Amino acid sequence: KVVQGVNLHQIRGLGFDATCSLVVLDKQFRPLPVNHEGDSHRNVIMWLDHRAVSQVHRINETKHSVLQYVGGVMSVEMQAPKLLWLKE
């Protein structure tokens, strides 16, 4: 529906953007808490959350080639450091 009425031959690319917030759910898609109190109503790590500072430093120190796709370094506001923080 987004391209309805548009000549598809004129489309040269598609883009999308999103904040790097992270919603944490279990396998049944129920909210999982991301706080010390265990409140499952608080299952979101907002984009500006900086609890994963040490994780992002470790990720960037690897200098892995995949980092080229995010400007050479990962930001603490991206999902990968947050996921590593949750794992640890």
Question: What pLDDT, on the 0 to 100 scale, is given for residue 44?
Answer: 94
Mean per-residue pLDDT pooled into runs of 10, the chain (88 residues): 86 82 94 92 94 98 96 95 94
Return the C-alpha torsion angle 85, 80, 25, 88, nearest 10.
Answer: -20
Note the pLDDT of residue 85: 95
Residue spans per domain, the chain: 18-87
pTM value is 0.73
Predicted confidence at residue 1, as pLDDT, reads 75
Residue 21: per-residue pLDDT: 92
pLDDT at 14: 80
What is the pLDDT at residue 35? 87
Q: How long, in residues, is the chain? A: 88
